[in-house]
Every structure is written in C-alpha cells, then in structure tokens.
A and B are shown apart, each in its own frame.
Chain A
Amino acid sequence: GDSVTQMEGPVTLSEEAFLTINCTYTATGYPSLFWYVQYPGEGLQLLLKATKADDKGSNKGFEATYRKETTSFHLEKGSVQVSDSAVYFCALSERASNTGKLIFGQGTTLQVKP
C-alpha cells in the first residue's frame, strides 16, 4: 500500500540556519503531496502542497518540490526562526479512491534555538 517515510527527529538548529526535512513516498498512480505543521497543543495546519510532478509548493518561506523520479518531497527553508519550532508532517493523498484519505509520515520535530 501507499506509504510516507520522514527523517527521524528531533532536528535541532540555530536561528537562521538552513532547514531540510526529508520525505519519500511509495504510491500507485499520481498522488498529491502535502506538508503540515503542528504547533504544541494545536491541530495541524496545511503548510504547502503540490499536485503533480515538478510542482513546487511554497508558503511562509518554506518550499518543497514534487520529485517523481526520486519519489521525494523534501521540505526546505533558507533561514529558520525560533517560531518555526513545531512538528512537521509529510502526507500524500490516496487518489485511487474518492475518500480523500491521507497517508501521513510519522512527523519530524524541529527545535530552533536562538
């Protein structure tokens, strides 16, 4: 079945450092890909998405490119801030059905220190 694998955390960076969180997927067909962010005690927020190969999703300085050849959707940010500290989830949609179900990775915790 479809699956999403994220790099193990926690990831600890200093403020203004470059961020990469790796995400790879296995899927039949052509899923849409997403990154979600979860701040402590809150629900998940959609951070960005890409719906087809070579699409680049971007939001709030974060970017991710849908790479079909490497089945990857790595999250990047050029300069992180303390306020970016959160848990980040990579996900894909099961396009084979009309249920809209998402397959989530296990989440990666990011800690940014001042």
Chain B
Amino acid sequence: SQTIHQWPATLVQPVGSPLSLECTVEGTSNPNLYWYRQAAGRGLQLLFYSVGIGQISSEVPQNLSASRPQDRQFILSSKKLLLSDSGFYLCAWSRTSGSYEQYFGPGTRLTVT
C-alpha cells in the first residue's frame, strides 16, 4: 500500500528565516505530486505541482519554491519567510492516469513569528 510522509509536523520560524519542508511517498512510482497551503479557517490553495522529476509548475506567485530531486520526494522551500507564509501545508500525490484522486499527507503547521 502507498503512504505519504511529511516533516516536520510543526514548525515555528522567525520572519526572514529560510524554510524547507519535505514530503516523501512510498509504495508507488512516478506519482504526480502537489503542495497546498491552508490558511486558518480557509480552503485549500494549490501552490505547486509536479508530473515528474525536475518538472515543477507554480500556481501562484510568491516567495516559495518547490523542487523534486527524486521521483517520490517533493520539497517546499523559501529563502526568507514572511508573516503571511504561516499556515497548514499539505502535500499530496496522485496516479498519472485514471480518476486522479489525490492522497494527502498529515500536514505541517508553520507559524512565522
């Protein structure tokens, strides 16, 4: 069976500090991968998606970036965090054909102080 991991689970960072969130998927190969942000009490905002190694598409302009150095690894980064980057970050994966349901990780709660 497939599993998806995210770490860390929680993070408190000062404004201006760098960020690195990691997501890994087990039990499948060549998945589509996604990063979402969920602000408190709000819906989901798709930040990035990837259909293959080194292939990253950005959905919204911001000071975040994403990378996919390995088939089942997806990393979300920032060089300098802003207060507005606080939120709940979710990673998800889907197969590359069929009905495209996505499976989500447990999330990372980021607080920028």
A residues adjacent to B (C-beta < 8 A): 32, 34, 36, 41-46, 49, 51, 89, 93-95, 98-102, 104-107
Contact = CB atoms under 8 A, between A and B. Distances in A.
Interface residues of B, number: 25
B101 A107 contact: no
Interface string B10-54: 000000000000000000000010100000001110100101000
Contact of B105 (A43, A104, A105, A107): A43
16 contacts: A43-B92, A43-B106, A43-B107, A44-B90, A89-B43, A89-B44, A98-B51, A98-B96, A99-B51, A100-B34, A100-B49, A100-B95, A100-B100, A100-B102, A101-B49, A106-B43
A107 B104 contact: no
Given A89-B43, A89-B44, A106-B43, A99 B57 contact: yes
A92 to B, nearest CB: 10
B43 A105 contact: yes
A43 B19 CA distance: 20
A42 B101 contact: no
Contacts of A95: 100
A101 B51 contact: no
Contacts of A99: 32, 49, 51, 57
B99 interface: yes
A32 B101 contact: yes
A83 B101 CA distance: 24
Nearest to B44: A104
Nearest to B106: A43
A100 B107 contact: no
A93 B43 contact: no
Interface in B58-104: 90, 92, 94-97, 99-104
A104 B37 CA distance: 13
Contacts of A46: 101-103
Nearest to B90: A43
Contacts of A45: 104
A100 B107 CA distance: 20
